[in-house]
Amino acid sequence: MIEIGLLNRDLVALLSKMGHGDQLLICDAGFAIPEGLPVVDLSLTVNVPTVDTVLTEILKYFSMEKVIFAQEQADANPKKLGKLMAILGESIEQETIGHGELKQRSRSVKGVIRTGDFSAYTNLILVSGAGNRWIMEK
Active site residue 99: no
Closest by CA to 41, choosing from 56, 23, 26, 57, is 26
In a domain, 134, yes or no: no
Domain that holds residue 73: 9-128
What span, in angstroms and rounded, lies between the C-alpha atoms of 46 and 133?
Answer: 36
In a domain, 133, yes or no: no
* CATH of residue 59: 3.40.1650.10
In a domain, 20, yes or no: yes
Closest by CA to 81, choosing from 69, 99, 91, 65, is 69
List 9, 17, 20, 107, catalytic entry? 20
What span, in angstroms and rounded, lies between the C-alpha atoms of 19 and 86?
Answer: 24
What span, in angstroms and rounded, lies between the C-alpha atoms of 125 and 111?
Answer: 10
Mind listing the pLDDT tens digit for each residue in 23-60?
Answer: 999 999 999 999 999 999 999 999 999 999 999 999 99
How many independent structural domains does the chain possess?
1
**Where does the pLDDT of residue 113 fall: very low under 50, low under 70, confident under 90, or very high at 90 and above?**
very high
To the nearest whole percent, how much of the chain has pLDDT over 90? 89
Helix (H) or strand (E) holding 136: none
For the whole model, what pTM was predicted? 0.94
Mind listing the pLDDT tens digit for each residue in 91-100?
Answer: 899 999 999 9
In a domain, 66, yes or no: yes
In a domain, 136, yes or no: no
Contacts of 78 (CB under 8 A, 6+ apart): none
Please give the pLDDT value at position 138. Answer: 81
